[in-house]
Structure 1
Amino acid sequence: MSWAVLVLAGLVEIAWSQSIKPTENLTRPLPTLLCLALAAAAIRLLSKAMDGVPVGTAYAVFTGIGAAGAVTLGVVAGDDPVSAGRVAALAMIIGGVVLAKLA
């Protein structure tokens, strides 16, 4: 169950990362409230996942999911460039998350 909560925390972190830019440097009240709520939810879920997953592993997986998701969304939904280096980096992040789960 802790691993499922950890994956959910990572997914919420992806949403949180995408909610930062619309705040326009925290000057827009509603986007800022959403951003803060998503950040709090991600941290709460991460904290809960740490009940059953070691802290270092949980944090590494959490940030890995967030990073991979943010890069993927940037390429798919934004105008972030695709390059061999970015694809290789994404593959290494995903590989690290999988290895952390298996180890």
Structure 2
Amino acid sequence: MAWIVLVFSGLLETAWAVSLERSAGFSRPLPSVVFLITLVLSMLGLAYALREIPVGTGYAIWVGIGAVGTAVYGMAALGESASLARIACLLLVVAGVVGLKLFH
């Protein structure tokens, strides 16, 4: 269960990062509220998962999921560069996250 919560929390990290950008410095109310809710839920999920998963592994996986998710969202929805080099770097992050899970 801890691993499922950790993955979901990582996805929520992507949601709060995107909401933070959409809030335009907290000047837009709806994205600001979404940011706060997803931030709190993401942190609560991380805290829950870290009861069973070592902090180094759990935190690195949480950050990796959030970072890759946010970068992919940026490329898919915001027109950010999707160069081969960027995609290769994201695949390296994914490989690191998978490696941390496998060698936990």
TM-score by length of 2: 0.94
Deviations 1:12-60 (A, max 9, x none): 1111111012211012233212111111110000000001100111100
Identity over aligned pairs, percent: 39
CA distance in 2, matches of 1:77, 1:54: 34
CA distance in 1, matches of 2:75, 2:57: 27
CA distance in 2, matches of 1:93, 1:87: 10
CA distance in 1, matches of 2:27, 2:34: 13
Runs of 4+ aligned structure 1 residues displaced above 4 Å come to: none
- Where do 5+ consecutive residues of structure 2 fail to align? none
Structure-2 residue corresponding to 1:41: 41
The two structures, once aligned, show a CA RMSD in angstroms of 0.9
Matched AA of 1:74 = G
Task: Tell me the SS of whatever aligns to 1:16.
Answer: helix
What is the Cα deviation at residue 76 of structure 1? 1.2
Residue 91 of structure 1 pairs with residue 98 of structure 2: no
